[in-house]
């Protein structure tokens, strides 16, 4: 596998592509677009763990040597995290009407997410190889419940504030509004193939910003001129 100037997709089941019967999640679609733009020397590492919480993802990036090597060489790092934190906290809420687990889940996500970004920055600083870091926001598979809208908005608001931590927020939420039935798989939680296409388009939209395009041309220079 070519690690130099690669694209790393890291995170939970949305990175793994759960729900896509063709086995092709958003990440591989983004990689194909990067190859079209920068050539087939652009490497690709897919590190998705279904069911992983933000805390588990932090432990993974802290201890998994293979993943840390991918971070070292990545020019783009895309992260999906937070959905499982929220889903686990929603169970006691819907069962008992207890909101404290939701508050705790958000606090833990904020802490773990910042730790994940700090760990990435530490790894990259040691290599002197910068990266464009993307944080994919959450969509809402349960728009019929106002309380879910409220808490997903809170999770996404945290990610929107991470620009100061060097992460670019990718707005997936708005792209799913009113289209949930069309974009979700049979489990009504994960995206289907079309849902992952939409996620991929939102990532590509974020990458197409002029400032990011200039950065990517510099990061992928070795791929363009091997």
Into which CATH architecture does domain 6-224 fall?
A: 3-Layer(aba) Sandwich (3.40)
Question: What is the model's pLDDT at position 173?
Answer: 98
Q: Is the pLDDT of residue 208 over 80?
A: yes
Question: What is the model's pLDDT at position 226?
Answer: 46
Q: Is the pLDDT of residue 25 over 60?
A: yes
What does the pLDDT look like over 33-50, one tens digit per residue? 999 998 888 999 999 999
Question: What is the model's pLDDT at position 4?
Answer: 61
Delimit the domains of the chain by residue range: 6-224
pTM for the structure as a whole: 0.94
Structure tokens at 27: 């990440």
Mean pLDDT of the chain: 92
For 2, 19, 194, the CA distances from 185, given in Å and listed in that order, are 32, 5, 9
Query: Can you tell me the distance from the alpha carbon of 195 to that of 56, in angstroms, rounded to the nearest whole number?
Result: 25
Phi-psi region for residue 48, left (φ > 0), alpha (ψ -120 to 50) or beta? beta
């Amino acid at each position: 596998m070519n690690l130099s100037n690669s694209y790393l997709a890291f995170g939970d089941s949305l990175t793994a592509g759960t729900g896509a019967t063709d086995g092709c999640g958003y990440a591989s679609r983004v990689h194909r677009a990067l190859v079209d733009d920068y050539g087939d020397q652009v490497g690709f590492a897919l590190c998705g763990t279904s069911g992983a919480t933000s805390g588990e993802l932090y432990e993974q990036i802290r201890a998994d040597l293979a993943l840390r090597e991918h971070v070292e060489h990545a020019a783009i790092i895309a992260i999906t995290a937070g959905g499982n934190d929220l889903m686990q906290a929603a169970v006691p809420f819907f069962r008992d009407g207890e909101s404290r687990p939701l508050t705790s889940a958000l606090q833990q996500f904020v802490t773990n997410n910042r730790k994940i970004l700090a760990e990435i920055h530490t790894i990259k600083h040691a290599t002197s190889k910068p990266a464009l870091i993307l944080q994919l926001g959450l969509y809402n598979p349960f728009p019929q419940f106002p309380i879910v809208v409220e808490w997903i908005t809170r999770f996404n608001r945290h990610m929107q504030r991470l620009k100061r931590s060097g992460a670019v927020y990718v707005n997936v939420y708005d792209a799913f509004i009113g289209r949930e039935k069309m974009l979700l798989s049979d489990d009504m939680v994960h995206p289907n193939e079309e849902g992952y296409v939409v996620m991929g388009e939102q990532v590509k939209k974020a990458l197409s910003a002029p400032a990011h395009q200039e950065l990517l041309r510099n990061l992928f220079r070795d791929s363009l001129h091997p």
